[in-house]
Chain A
């Protein structure tokens, strides 16, 4: 069974940093492009970042470039998102999601909540 379990969210002050993690199991993690998608409270889904299976390529939403860094550790079946210089508008549930070829998000974790507030 495919499982994606996020962790690392919490309450952080504006300008602070967090490192989000996603533990994957039930599939060959190293074969898949992985992603972060976020959802602000009461809002829709916003793609954040993607990383290819061997970390050769990373992609970011234009509005987030420079503050967010995606990475993965295939030996540990884990995905990470380093988020820096956080702003109130970054408050959201951050989902880890697997993508199959062409860009279809076929499995999602339950998400981790990031709250940016003073």
Chain B
């Protein structure tokens, strides 16, 4: 079945960077993009951006434009999210999801908790 498996939880200090991975299986990887969404503790879902392996395109939410990078390694079917210059406001669960259509995401990875604390 279609599955997205994310890397383990990570802890970082303010000002540092974090890189989260998302490995896909069970479908033709080149047929769909990957979306990244985060959820701060007790808060709602926030779209961070999207990257596609088939048209080599990436789109970021304006809020993260200057400090986020999404990359894809098609040889390992793995997508990466890197977020730089972290603050405590970046403490959240980060999810990857297959972009099924342009605004619908299915399935989702299990989530990666990133904790930013001094």
A binds B: no
Residues on A facing B (Cβ under 8 Å): none
